[in-house]
Copies of this chain bind each other. A is one copy, B any other.
Amino acid sequence: MLCILQARLALRSLPVTELRCFASERSKGKILRFDGKEVKCEVLAPGCFQGIDIAFFDASDAISKEWSLQAAEAGAWVVDNAAVYRMEKDIPLVVPEVNGELVAAKVKENLKTKLPARGRVIAGPNCSTVQMVVALKPIRDRWGIRRVTVSTYQSVSGAGSAAMTELKQQVSEIIAGREKAPEQSAFSHRIAFNCIPQIGALKGDGFTSEELKLMDETRKILALPGLKISATAVRVPTLIGHAESVHVECERPFDLSEVREALRTQPGVLLQDDPEKGIYPMNVTFPGDPVEGAGGRDFVGVGRVRRDPSVENGLQLWVVSDNLRKGAALNAVQIGELIARHSS
């Protein structure tokens, strides 16, 4: 059985005998469709996790904190997409294509001797981290990584569906020539036709929480605790899909064609790298892509692959993915698939 909070994704190869959805009082009775059947939203309540095998948490930090260990104590595996457990030393932070073996190890350990509740929690990273580490994985494996710097171009859907409505509304009003400044609530500034160089609150040393997540989580997932890394996270007026301009300093010299081949064969990556023909990943890449962008796609697009001539063993990449899929829901479901596969 399964508990999905705010599930938005068809469940791929995960064997689902029963799907249950839990949310707040506000969503009580809401009908979701899954696998041709209707699933009615239930309200989170003590004891609600009895009989659940895998509980996906895709909610706020506060909800995760309050409920996730209750699910684990009831015997479920918890896949948590909030920030609560990501940087906890004893909890794996997982992107299946990069470090899925950590899930397999936990499941095997649990089969041998039942783990305490906390031992059955697996964390999923922040959206902007997921796509970058998938692209960096084959580089790390083959040439080593000494330093990474990244500037992001993040869509408003990362701030929720209200933010998407806000961008569309602001844009409409501006184009219609209304004199009144458009209303804003999802962001601290107008987002229409604007780039806001702040995502999350300001934390230490002038970095935002989003930037620090990207830096800390990348170190943890790539298992490079000493990795030198710095980020600038910017909100741009796109609807779905995050893009990243990434500079990598490798430890060893590389051949560019081998880098492209390593990316081409990396599971989860789609190499889109023929810029002379206008081929590189974008929010809107393919004919027939949804107007809101990112195409509901499951892969991480990598392009503009070239040598960074300003440093030894330097590499530049342009990385784009659907922040709502690979950046969140899809990654969690992939973790669920690993749990299911190794449990049987």
Residues of A within 8 A of B (CB): 147-149, 151, 153, 155, 168, 171-172, 174-175, 181, 188-190, 193-198, 202, 205-208, 228-230, 232, 234, 236-239, 243, 245, 247, 275-276, 278, 280, 282-284, 287, 291-293, 303-311, 314, 316, 318
CB distance B193 to A284 under 8 Å?
Answer: yes
Which single member of B195, B291, B305 contacts A238 (CB below 8 Å)?
Answer: B195
The 9 A-B pairs with the shortest beta carbon distances in the complex, nearest first, are A206-B306, A228-B310, A151-B245, A151-B151, A230-B310, A194-B284, A232-B245, A202-B276, A197-B318
Chain B residues with Cβ below 8 Å from A229 are: 310
- 8 CB contacts below 8 A, A to B, read A190-B284, A195-B236, A195-B238, A195-B282, A197-B280, A206-B307, A230-B247, A230-B311
Distance in angstroms from A306 CB to nearest chain B CB is: 3
Nearest CB in chain B: distance from A303 CB, A: 7
Distance of A274 from chain B, by nearest CB (Å): 10
With contacts A206-B306, A275-B202 known, is A194 near B293, CB below 8 A?
yes
* Cα separation A308 to B243 with both chains bound (whole Å): 21
Q: Is the interface of A mostly helix, strand, loop or mixed?
A: mixed
Point out the residue from B174, B189, B195 that lies within 8 Å of A278, measured CB to CB: B189
A310 to B249, CA, bound (A): 11
| B193 pairs with A283, CB closer than 8 A | yes
How far apart sit A230 and B316, CA to CA, in the bound complex (Å)? 9
Known A-B contacts A151-B151, A275-B206; A303 and B197 likewise in contact (beta carbons under 8 Å): yes
A314 x B283 contact (CB < 8 A) = no
Closest chain B CB from A188 CB (angstroms): 5
Partner of A304, one of B155, B190, B197, B311: B197
Cβ-defined contact, A311 with B206, below 8 A: no
Chain B, residue nearest A168 (CB): B175
Taking CB atoms, residues of chain B closer than 8 Å to A197 are 243, 245, 275, 280, 282, 303-304, 318
Judge whether B308 and A149 touch: CB under 8 Å.
yes
A225: min CB distance to chain B, Å = 14
Beta-carbon nearest neighbor of A320 in chain B: B195
**A237: B residues at CB distance < 8 A:** 193, 236-238
Would you give the shortest CB distance from A174 to chain B, in whole angstroms?
A: 5
